[in-house]
């Protein structure tokens, strides 16, 4: 089971400690490890992600990504984390909490990716379990949403294993790998039982 053990200074963003993982906001000095892992995992990731641009892995693109993450964090609109293996401090993937909605909704969307060498090793299960208490206890949200392609059996298994309930199908919901595609919608509520 994963626990939120500490939160760092506001300018660094939250740091979450989970089982075998440390989740923290991306920093510029993560660029080389990120670019290498994403390049190595390109064929593995592209069926499940928005279409990659020709500049996807450049330093300038990474810098823009960090500015976006920083603005979202300051505006309480989103939280991006890189996942590091606590055994060797290697980058293994990423997880995002985006589209944070306050007011009557109190919800956000969960997104994630894992590098191909680390797939099916339990890292993403540990990451989702670690981020759930942050969503409900720290951000004080009521609902955590996720969507995945019906053909993505690994993602379906991850969501169901971590307590998310399938809420139906959204037709042509997201543009993935250059095409509008149907998605299964999942959600976890703050008072849902967790495995």
Rounded-to-integer distance, Cα 111 and Cα 145, Å: 9
pLDDT level of residue 149 (50, 70, 90 thresholds): very high
Q: Are 97 and 109 in contact (CB under 8 A)?
A: yes
3-state helix/strand/coil string of 21-34: EEEECCCHHHHHHH
Residue among 130, 162, 134 at smallest CA distance from 17: 130
pLDDT of residue 11: 58
What is the band of 8 on the pLDDT scale with cuts at 50, 70, 90? very low
Q: What is the mean pLDDT of residues 105-123?
A: 97
What pLDDT shows up at residue 137?
96
Residue 9: the pLDDT is: 38
Per DSSP, which regions of the chain are E strands? 6-7, 14-18, 21-24, 79-85, 91-101, 107-114, 143-148, 165-176, 179-189
The distance of Cα 195 from the centroid of its chain, to the nearest Å, equals 19
pLDDT value at 189 more than 90? yes
Q: Is the pLDDT of residue 4 over 80?
A: no
47: helix, strand or coil: helix
Per-residue pLDDT band at 126 (split at 50, 70, 90): very high
The per-residue pLDDT of the chain, averaged, comes to 93
More confident residue, 11 or 53: 53
Residues written for the chain: 195
Structural domains for the chain:
6-141 (3.40.630.30)
Q: What is the mean pLDDT of residues 72-99?
A: 97
């Amino acid at each position: 089971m994963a626990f939120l053990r500490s939160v760092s200074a506001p300018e660094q963003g939250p740091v979450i400690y989970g089982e075998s993982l440390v989740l923290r906001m991306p920093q510029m000095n993560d660029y080389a490890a990120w670019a290498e892992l994403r390049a190595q995992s390109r064929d593995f990731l592209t069926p499940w992600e928005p279409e990659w641009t020709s500049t996807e892995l450049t330093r300038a693109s990474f810098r823009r990504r960090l500015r976006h993450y920083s603005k979202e964090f300051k505006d309480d609109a989103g939280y991006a984390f890189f996942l590091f293996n606590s055994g060797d401090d290697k980058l293994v993937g990423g997880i995002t909490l985006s589209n944070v909605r306050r007011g009557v909704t109190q919800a956000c969307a969960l997104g994630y990716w894992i590098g191909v060498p680390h797939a099916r090793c339990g890292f993403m299960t540990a990451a989702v379990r670690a981020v759930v208490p942050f969503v409900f206890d720290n951000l004080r949200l009521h609902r955590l949403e996720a969507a995945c392609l019906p053909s993505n059996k690994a993602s379906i298994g991850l969501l169901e294993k971590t307590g998310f309930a399938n809420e139906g199908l959204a037709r042509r919901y997201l543009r993935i790998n250059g095409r509008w595609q149907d998605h299964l919608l999942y959600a976890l509520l703050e008072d849902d039982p967790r495995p």
